[in-house]
Amino acid sequence: MGSSGRIGHDHGVQGQLASGSIALGKGGTLVFDMRSFRSDTPEARQYAGLSGSVSGGDQKKVDANMLGPQVLDVARFPKAEYAITSIVPVDGGSPGEPGRYNLEGRFTLHGVARLLPLIAQAEPTGTPGVLRMRCAFAINQSDFGITPYSTLGGLVGVADRLDVWGDLLVRPSPR
């Protein structure tokens, strides 16, 4: 999350999937557990390229605001979903091989669904049949009915645009 005010800092937020399945060459669904989102963990800050650390007290305040009724409202919207209608190789490869993939689907956040086309990179992991799929994209909170957090007359706030990075393992389904 980027800062929009004159006071504050950028945040790295880490969250987990509640469930998901992907069929390369076909489609899938990723369900995000919004209650699992935590700000400024060392891993999230490193992954987002942010230096320094944030105190535990500041993390708790950011988490309370982010998860609370004024922003994500996880009590009402505990999950977000990316319903993928198509996952096809971009560069002429075959489904299931490493390479770039074009994903088409609808992302539902805060009860609002929007089309979200993505390009993801699938890379080998060293484990046969398992790929690491990575993706980066941006959304505007306001497109999903969320008013970006702001306080102290705008001195402290979060920008409308959120840069999102995704990183997941794609494994063959058990037969």
pLDDT digits (tens, 9 = 90+) for 69-107: 988 999 999 999 999 999 999 988 899 899 999 999 999
Q: Which amino acid is at 14?
A: Q
Asked if residue 2 belongs to a domain, the reply is no
Instruction: Examine residue 6 and state whether it is found in any structural domain, yes or no.
Output: no
Q: How many domains does the chain have?
A: 1
Cα separation, 131 vs 171, in Å, equals 7
User: Does any domain span residue 28?
Assistant: yes
Domain containing residue 148: 13-170
Confirm whether 3 is domain-assigned. Answer: no
In angstroms and rounded to an integer, the radius of gyration of the C-alpha atoms of the chain is: 17
Beta strands 161-170 and 150-151 are unpaired
**Where do the H-state alpha helices sit in the chain?**
42-47, 56-67
* Residue whose tokens read 């306001």: 142
Return the CATH number at 119.
Answer: 2.40.128.110
Residue 140 lies in a domain: yes
Number of Cβ within 10 Å of residue 58's Cβ equals: 15
The answer to whether residue 68 sits within a structural domain is: yes
pLDDT tens for the 175 residues of the chain, in order: 443 333 356 788 999 999 999 998 899 999 999 999 998 888 888 888 888 888 888 889 888 988 999 889 999 999 999 999 999 999 888 998 999 999 999 999 999 999 999 999 999 999 998 999 999 999 999 999 998 866 655 445 678 888 899 999 988 877 6
User: By the 8 A CB rule, do 37 and 67 touch?
Assistant: yes
Residue 5 maps to a domain: no
Q: What is the pTM of this model?
A: 0.86
Gap between the Cα atoms of 40 and 173, Å rounded: 33
Q: Does 7 reside within a domain?
A: no
